[in-house]
């Protein structure tokens, strides 16, 4: 055996020793992966498992074509409980609008500037939401929530809608709702009629 072989063998033994010690160290550090309640090795569900499991937008009934007259404004939560949105019917046809004249639209009720509610400033006749009571942003309801004027730089998130047998269903959200890192996380999902 020459010097090179001796050095190589020594290094391999040293690495093997370090590896074993490292594994023992991790095992002894007190960290334990969460376990299921039944004591099995299956990982336990996280406290937000219900929300984390919502990987797609649910399909939820939010109104009725016959019960929503032109000029009406109705509130609904979607896709999480407490997430305020409004459903309204404007005179003209809207981008993403549904119903016989394509004038039924849904939007987030939270201004995209700093999150003030614009629910009380919805004006279906003028086809706008606003001016926002905080810094006067106005959004165009016929053009996907486009910012018309004011401090906001992001359009109002629009709720995707669908009509089936006269009922209006929410099926998704275009745009990030103010204050959310993800529209589907950090809350309890509203009860879904059927999943898409
Ligand atoms: S919060 Fe609406 S314009 Fe500032």
Residue nearest to atom 3 of ligand 1 (CA): 135
pLDDT of residue 194: 46
Residue among 110, 114, 153 to mutate when testing ligand 1 (max atoms within 8 A of CB): 114
Domain 49-195 falls under CATH 2.102.10.10:
yes
pLDDT tens-place string over residues 84-109: 999 999 999 999 999 999 999 999 99
Q: Which atom of ligand 1 is nearest to the CA of 135?
A: 3
Residue nearest to atom 4 of ligand 1 (CA): 135
pLDDT of residue 152: 98
Looking at the predicted structure, is the pLDDT value of residue 131 above 60? yes
Q: Which atom of ligand 1 is nearest to the CA of 118?
A: 2
Q: What distance in angstroms lies between residue 69's CA and the mean position of ligand 1's atoms?
A: 28
Q: In which band, very low, low, confident or very high, does the pLDDT at 191 lie, cut at 50, 70 and 90?
A: confident
Secondary structure E strands in the chain:
58-64, 73-77, 84-89, 104-108, 122-123, 128-129, 138-140, 146-149, 158-164, 167-174, 194-195
Sheet architecture: strand order including 104-108: 73-77, 84-89, 104-108, 158-164, 167-174, 58-64, 194-195
Q: What distance in angstroms lies between residue 138's CA and the mean position of ligand 1's atoms?
A: 9
pLDDT of residue 44: 46
Question: Which residues have C-beta atoms less than 6 Å from ligand 1?
Answer: 111, 113-114, 116, 132, 134-137, 150-152
């Amino acid at each position: 055996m020459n010097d090179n072989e001796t050095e190589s063998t020594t290094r391999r033994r040293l690495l093997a020793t370090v590896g074993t010690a490292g594994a023992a160290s991790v095992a002894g550090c007190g960290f334990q992966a969460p376990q299921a309640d039944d004591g099995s090795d299956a990982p336990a569900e996280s406290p937000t498992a219900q929300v984390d499991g919502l990987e797609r937008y649910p399909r939820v009934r939010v109104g009725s074509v016959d019960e929503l007259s032109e000029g009406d404004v109705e509130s609904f939560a979607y896709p999480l409980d407490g997430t305020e949105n409004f459903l309204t019917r404007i005179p003209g046809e809207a981008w993403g609008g549904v119903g016989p004249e394509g004038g039924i639209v849904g939007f987030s009720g939270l201004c995209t500037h700093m999150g003030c509610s614009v629910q009380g400033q919805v004006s279906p006749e003028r086809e706008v939401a606003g001016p926002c009571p905080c810094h006067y942003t106005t959004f165009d309801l016929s053009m996907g929530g486009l910012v018309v004027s004011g401090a906001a730089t992001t359009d109002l998130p629009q709720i995707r809608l669908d009509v089936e047998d006269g009922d209006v269903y929410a099926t998704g959200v275009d745009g990030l709702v103010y204050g959310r890192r993800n529209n589907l996380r950090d809350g309890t999902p509203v009860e879904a009629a059927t999943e898409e």
